[in-house]
Structure 1
Amino acid sequence: MYTSAQRLSAIETAELRRQAGHFLRRLREDRGYSQREFAALIEANVYQFISQIETGRNRIPPDQMRTWAQAFKLAPRDFSLIMMRYYDPETFASIFETEPGIYEGTDFPDFVRLVTASDPVPVKAKIGGTRPIKRGEGAPEAAADEALVGDSKEPASASKDLTVPGEIAGRMDALEGMVMQLVRHLDEMKQLLAE
C-alpha cells in the first residue's frame, strides 16, 4: 500500500502530527475526559495510545476516525475535515482551498474556539503551494509553518513571503521550539537508559 502521498519531510510530518495532537488534547480536555476515560470511551486497549497521539508520536488510524468523532460529539465529516488539514494537508488544500469556511476552519466552531492565535495552524500556511500568507494575516508562527510545509524548491530565506522581520522571527521561534522538543525527548531517553 502506498502510504507517502505527501511531499513533506519527516520533520514536517512530525510537526503537523504534534499540532494535531495539541488540538486533540484541548478537545479532550474541553469535553472533560482524562486520557484513561477517553481511551475507555473509544475502546482503546491502553490509555498510552491517547498520549502517543496527543504528543504527535502517532496519529488516529483512519478506521477509527468515526469512533473518535462520536466520542467528541462531533459530526464525523467535520472531525475528519479538521484532522485532514493535519494528516493530509496537500489533499486538504487541493480540495478545499476554494471553500473558505472549510479551508480557514471557520465552519468548525470547536476548531475556532480551541485553536488560539499563537498556535501554528497549517491551513494558514502555504499548504500545497497555492495560497501564500498575506501580510498581517495569522500569527508569525504561520509564516514558520509556511517555510516548513510549503512546496517551494527555493530555500525559505529566498521566499518573498518571509520578508517581514516578524515572520522570519516567527519561523525561527517555531524551529527553535522543535529543536527544544527533540532535546527534551533525548534527555528523557538518556534518563531511561541510565535507570
Structure 2
Amino acid sequence: MFNAIIRFCGTDVSRNTIGIIGMGEIGRTYARFMHRGFNCRILYTGPREKPNDVDAEFVDLETLLRTSDVVSIHSPLNEATTCMFNASCFALMQPHAVLINTARGGIVDQEALAHALASGQIAAAALDVTVPEPLPLDHRLYDLPNCIVVPHIGSATVATRHRMVDRAVENLIAGFISARLPYPVPSR
C-alpha cells in the first residue's frame, strides 16, 4: 500500500544545492527565490564573478555540475554558450540531478540531453526553450517520461508582458534623447 502511495510523490527542493548558469537579473531573482523560499545552497557560474546580493558562491562549471541537485540555465546564447551543455557536462552531473533551461534552446545539445535522460545519467529535464521552437511532434524528447517540454511560455503572464513593454518603451525614450539605456542588452 505504501509503495502505491509513494509513487505519486514528487521531489522536494528544500535544502538542495542549486547551480545557476548565468547570474544576470533573471538568475539573481531565481537565486533569491530558491535561497530564501526553500533554504537552498546557491552556486553560480558565468564569465565573471558578480556582486552578490544573494548568499551565492561563484564556482567553475565543473564544480557546479558535480555538486548541484538542480542546474538552471539563465545565460544568453552566444559563441561561448552554444551547445555548452553537451555529453561531457551531463557526464559530470549527479544521477539525481535535474536540468532546467529557460534561457535559449541552443545552449543545450538536445541529442546529448536525450541520451543522458534515457540512460539515467541525469534524473530529469524541464525545457521552456528548444531548437527549433516548437520541436517537431516526433522529437525523441517528447517520448521521455523524465523530460518536460513547454512551448517557450516561461514569461507568458500578463504582468510579465506589461513589464517587458514598459522596459522596451523606457529604452526607446532613452535612445531618442541620447540618454543611457535603463535596460541595456549586455554585449557579447
TM-score (norm 2): 0.38
Task: Report which of the two has the higher share of strand.
Answer: 2
Considering fraction of residues, name the structure with more helix.
1
User: TM-score w.r.t. structure 1 length?
Assistant: 0.37
Looking at CA atoms only, which structure, 1 or 2, has the larger radius of gyration?
2
